[in-house]
Chains A and B, each alone.
Chain A
């Protein structure tokens, strides 16, 4: 391949710069307000009264030290369980041709289609019947259900793209199913797993309606989404706390992403198969 010309490189640089400005502009406002003692409707470009009191408040009285921990537990559990279940299900859908296959694929999407508000009362009663009310476990189960459709669809494509011949070759070499799974299948579906886990993480991390409904009065189990809402009062909003809390909410997701995104490119360098 010829080396990209300077024009192309400059063009790319401009595109990246514009993208960053567009993407980060609202985040910038959020940050400025989070550090501004006079946070409020459209403050200035720089904090009028720089302070860290909002962060202090949010992390102590605001309860975010507990909420962060809870959300982290729930999100990680959701990622692990939904990735596992989605992988199993996608193997079934990708490798096997069975009746109702198409219907199953369509129907798992229904959980994303039904408006949440309509489900609130019946789901509340159902979770109560399952004795999971007020528990983080109940939440994890709900979030897994919400994250599964994307996971199944996503991984299905990746599993299907792995040539059957690769698997057969591994078996011929005497590998067990587990060994084949780890060294052949997993690296090739890694990008799909990464996307699935990011989706699962964010679904669990920012979800509010079910969290509020299912956790009820168990404040010690509250997640960050519920915590954020607490700063919206009936008559006035604590903008400084809202923005500081939002900043605190945004950061862990980015960290999670940075950790897992290394695996996005692993499909490229997966075990070379000579054939």
Chain B
């Protein structure tokens, strides 16, 4: 029986079995073009829709582009002026970036860990319970982020929130506390909100991965004498590496860009300067003031940053062939 443990390796370079079992020898033109033919529809959608707008964003970033320029349609070039302003902004380096990065690290960690734990739990449940519990989890994901944020705000409301109510009736505090004014408690609530909203995505995706591991592989390994942990690490985890890659990358991207969950919180729209994160700061500094050029520059930098993080992560965790 052929060993089915090493299924990660794809077919040889430029080759693929065609109908009837014919294999083209060497890299014929058709073989080279075929992958691009399959990619074309997807790339077409992305390019037609986004290529030109992305170029425009880059162009805006080099201009002092405000309402006046939008009305007149005429450019207003200032070269790298916007970028200089971003890099010399004290608030950005002292408050905004630390908040954003620290929050992203924590929320990605918690979301992925908690989501994976839930996925493992779900995988071990029987059919019926798995359906029930996973559907319940969907409620957390499906609830609009706006609504969820307001509910959490109510829960922690200073005067009438259930959290303060419980603390006071347990005698743990005498008077209502406004949890939104202090930076740490503010972000703890945001973390709770974001993890709550984001863990279902991780759970469902990892669950798909867990359930998608071909049973034959596990059986083969068991027959070969591998114990449960060994099976988990040598069969399941490699399969999951790809899934973890995309889950972690997307979670990082989203948690870096968190906006509504902070903006809608009391004090989060800019009146509490200590809780500013990148999303809110860039909004109040740029689009809130009609400074579209500045906002575009921030967008360009953020995209490059996230791209860099993605590339770095992929290089470290996944080897080239595994990609």
- A residues within 8 Å of B by Cβ? 12, 15-16, 19-20, 22-24, 26-27, 29-30, 41-42, 45, 84-86, 88-89, 91-98, 101-102, 104-106, 108-115, 117-119, 121-123, 125-127, 130, 141-142, 144-145, 148-150, 152-154, 156-158, 160-165, 167-168, 171-172, 175-177, 188-192, 194-195, 198-199, 202, 205-206, 225, 228-229, 242-243, 246, 249-250, 253-254, 257-258, 261, 264-265, 267-268, 270, 272-273, 275
Contact = CB atoms under 8 A, between A and B. Distances in A.
B38 interface: yes
A188 B214 contact: yes
A217 to B, nearest CB: 19
Given A118-B60, A122-B54, A157-B243, 13 more contacts: A19-B121, A94-B10, A98-B35, A101-B323, A113-B303, A113-B310, A117-B282, A118-B296, A160-B10, A188-B212, A192-B212, A246-B147, A275-B2
Contact of B211 (A130, A202, A267): A267
A195 B205 contact: yes
B243 A154 contact: yes
Contacts of A84: 41
B143 A164 contact: no
Contact of B239 (A94, A161, A250): A161
Contact of B160 (A42, A85, A88): A42
Contacts of A41: 154, 157, 160
B207 interface: yes
Q: Which 5 A-B pairs have the closest CB atoms?
A: A118-B299, A157-B242, A122-B53, A253-B142, A92-B38
A122 B296 CA distance: 11
A263 to B, nearest CB: 10
A228 B143 CA distance: 12
Interface residues of B, number: 112
Interface of B is mostly: helix
B54 to A, nearest CB: 7
Contacts, number: 302
B105 interface: no
A114 B196 contact: no
Interface of A is mostly: helix
28 contacts: A12-B124, A19-B118, A24-B140, A85-B42, A89-B38, A95-B11, A96-B14, A109-B250, A113-B310, A115-B282, A115-B299, A115-B302, A117-B282, A119-B50, A119-B57, A119-B299, A145-B45, A148-B46, A154-B243, A162-B7, A163-B7, A164-B11, A188-B214, A192-B212, A228-B147, A264-B211, A267-B212, A275-B1
Interface string B119-141: 00100110101010111111111
